[in-house]
């Protein structure tokens, strides 16, 4: 939180002190410009965010297929959604994905970035190679990986592991390994682009500190742990937030890989919402679950904010 807290009240006070007399005054004082800047913002949000959201809220209390007239059905959409036996599992799966994605997807880019930064030669080659997965259109990559995950012993991953006497593994075809398989893909797809950001951040680490530490006799690991990582704290914090937000929106991966299977092991909340709306045509249930998810996310963000406020201010 390094905003300039003194500036804000001061400016507000100045503005409040100014007498409001006429339109010319208001326009000259920046009012006109404020409106000018507000127009595109308000128009875009009104049409593409607020309006649809409000209509979505209305849908959650209706039964409608948009061809017949809508009927008000009270809380019954919410009752149906909350009574759906699959809801608990979908929530747990989403949390499980978030956890796995953090465990794997979070440290790997940092390790990669630290290593690449230490290179004295060919670092651009490493950089470019690491970034390649992010260049591949994700849908193409998923189609490929889906094929790589072929559970037969002739499958690509299984034949490679077979050379070392391992496997064959069921990958996506087993409730316990399906989600980790999806996370493995997601890590591959995301690690390079995240690492690039860390690499750039590492360039700003104050190197004097390393020298001081070295003189004090600190080894390489201690230097990484006590100097590099703490200096990356800010960017780590932002990337972690981004990844968290991303994991709750996890949709295309399970959708294209498994469709939520096997036995609902990769069914996420977003996939469920999607199924309500687009498989069942039940827009009421879909928006009702969206509202519930929004409430949960709001709560979670508040908790995250309060827990990390201390930490990031430290």
Partner 1 sequence: MPKLSRRQVLVAGSVGAAAMATAGCSDPGGDAATEALDPSAKVSISVGDQPTEDKPDQLAAFNKRIEEFKAANQNIAVEASPEKWEAQTFQAKLAGGTLPTVMGVSLTYSHELIENGQLPDMTPYLDELGLVADLNPLALDNAKDDGGKIYTIPTGLFSVGIAYNRAIFAKAGLDPDTPPATWEDVRAFARQIKAKVGGVTPYAQMTTNNTGGWMLTTMTYSLGGRVQNDAGTEAVMGQQTIDALQLLHDMRWGDDTMGREFLYDQEAVRQAFAGGTIGMVLQAPDCYFTVVKDYGFDPADYGQGALPQGGAGGNGTLTGGTLKLFDAKATPNQLLAAAKWIKFYDFDKYYDQAAALADAESNAANNSPVGLPGLPPVSQAVYDRYLGWIKPHINVPLEQFTGYTAATLPLIAEPPAGTQQTYAALDPVVQQILTDEGADIVRAVADANATVKGIIDQAAR
Partner 2 sequence: MTLTGKPSRARRKAGEAKERGVISTTDRKRPIVRTWFTIVQTILLIVLIITGLGPLLWSAKASISSSNAIVTEPMGIWFTPAEWGNLLLAWNGAQIGRSLINTVILAVGSTASTLIVSVAAAYLLSVLRPKWGPILSGAILATLFLPGVISFVPLYLTILDMPLLHIGLQDTFWAVWLPAGASAFNVVVLKRFFDSIPREYMEAAKIDGAGPIRILTMVVLPLSRPILGVIVLLSVVGSWKEFLWPMLVLSNPELQPVSVMLPKLAAGNSPLSVQMAAVFLSILVPVVIFAIFQKQFLRGVGSAGGIKG
Residues in contact with partner 1 by the rule CB under 8 A: 63, 65-70, 73, 76, 80, 83-86, 150-154, 168, 170, 172-175, 258-264, 267, 275, 277-283, 285
Query: Can you tell me which of 192, 250, 267, 285 binds partner 2, judged by CB under 8 A?
Result: 192
Nearer Cβ to partner 2, position 92 or 234?
234
Q: How far is the CB of 173 from partner 1 (least distance, A)?
A: 5
Find the binder of partner 2 among 23, 103, 166, 238 (CB under 8 A): 238
* From candidates 153, 154, 263, 280, binder to partner 2 by CB under 8 A: 154
Binders of partner 2 in range 282-311 (CB under 8 A): 283, 286-287, 290-291, 293-294, 297-298, 301, 308
**Taking CB within 5 to 8 Å according to partner kind, which of partner 1, partner 2, none is near residue 185?**
none
- Cα–Cα distance, 8 to 250 (Å, whole number): 38
Q: How far is residue 285 CA from its own chain's centroid?
A: 24
CA dihedral 287, 289, 290, 292 (to 10 degrees): 130
Instruction: Choose among partner 1, partner 2, none what residue 124 binds, the Cβ cut-off being 5 to 8 Å by kind.
Output: partner 2
Radius of gyration of the chain (CA): 26
At 23, list the tokens.
């339109």
Instruction: Select from partner 2, partner 1, none the partner in contact with residue 175, using the beta carbon and a kind-dependent cut-off of 5 to 8 Å.
Output: partner 1
Instruction: Please report, as residue ranges, which positions from 10 to 49 form the binding site for partner 2 (by CB under 8 A).
Output: 11-12, 15, 30-31, 33-35, 37-38, 40-42, 44-45, 47-49
Question: CA-CA distance, 122 to 160, in Å (whole number)?
Answer: 28
Q: Which is nearer to partner 2, 117 or 264 (CB)?
A: 117
Please identify which residue in the block is written with the tokens 């690039």. 196
Taking the complex as a whole, the smallest distance from the CB of residue 50 to partner 2 amounts, in Å, to 7
Query: Could you tell which of partner 2, partner 1, none binds residue 3, using a CB distance below 5 to 8 A set by kind?
Result: partner 2
Neighbours of 211 (CB within 10 A): 10
Q: Residue 224's binding partner, choosing from partner 1, partner 2, none, with beta-carbon cut-off 5 to 8 A by kind?
A: partner 2
145 vs 198, which CB is nearer to partner 1? Answer: 145
2: left (phi over 0), alpha (psi -120 to 50) or beta: alpha
Omega before residue 305 within 30° of 0, cis = no
Site residues for partner 2, 75-104, by CB under 8 A, read none
Are 187 and 104 within 8 A, CB to CB? yes
**Footprint (CB under 8 A) of partner 2, residues 215-234:** 220, 223-224, 227-228, 231-234
Nearer to partner 2, 176 or 216 (CB): 216
The token duo for 224 is: 């990484």
What span, in angstroms and rounded, lies between the C-alpha atoms of 150 and 178?
12
């Amino acid at each position: 939180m390094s905003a300039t807290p003194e500036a804000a009240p001061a400016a507000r006070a100045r503005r409040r002190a100014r007498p409001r007399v006429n339109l010319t005054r208001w326009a000259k004082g920046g009012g006109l410009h404020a409106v000018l800047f507000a127009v595109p913002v308000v128009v875009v949000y009104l049409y593409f965010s607020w309006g649809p959201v409000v209509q979505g809220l209305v849908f959650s209390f209706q039964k409608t297929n948009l061809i017949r007239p809508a009927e008000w059905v009270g809380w019954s959409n919410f009752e149906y959604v909350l009574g759906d036996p699959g809801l608990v599992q979908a929530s747990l799966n989403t949390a499980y994905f978030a956890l796995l994605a953090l465990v794997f997807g979070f440290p790997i880019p940092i390790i990669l970035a630290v290593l690449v930064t230490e290179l004295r030669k060919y670092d651009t080659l490493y950089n470019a190679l690491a970034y390649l997965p992010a260049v591949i259109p994700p849908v193409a990559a998923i189609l490929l990986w889906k094929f790589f995950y072929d559970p037969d012993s002739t499958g690509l991953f299984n034949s490679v592991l077979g050379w070392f006497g391992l496997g064959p593994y069921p990958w996506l075809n087993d409730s316990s390994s399906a989600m980790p398989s999806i996370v493995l893909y997601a890590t591959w797809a995301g690690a390079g682009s995240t690492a690039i950001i860390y690499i750039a951040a590492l360039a700003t680490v104050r190197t004097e500190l390393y020298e001081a530490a070295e003189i004090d006799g600190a080894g390489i690991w201690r230097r990484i742990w006590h100097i590099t990582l703490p200096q990356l704290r800010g960017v780590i914090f932002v990337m972690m937030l981004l990844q968290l937000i991303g994991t709750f929106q996890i949709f295309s991966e399970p959708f294209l890989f498994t469709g939520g299977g096997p036995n609902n092991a990769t069914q996420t909340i977003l996939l469920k919402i999607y199924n309500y709306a687009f498989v069942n045509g039940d827009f009421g249930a879909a928006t009702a679950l969206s509202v519930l998810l929004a409430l949960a996310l709001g709560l979670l963000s508040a908790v995250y904010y309060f827990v990390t406020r201390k930490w990031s201010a430290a």
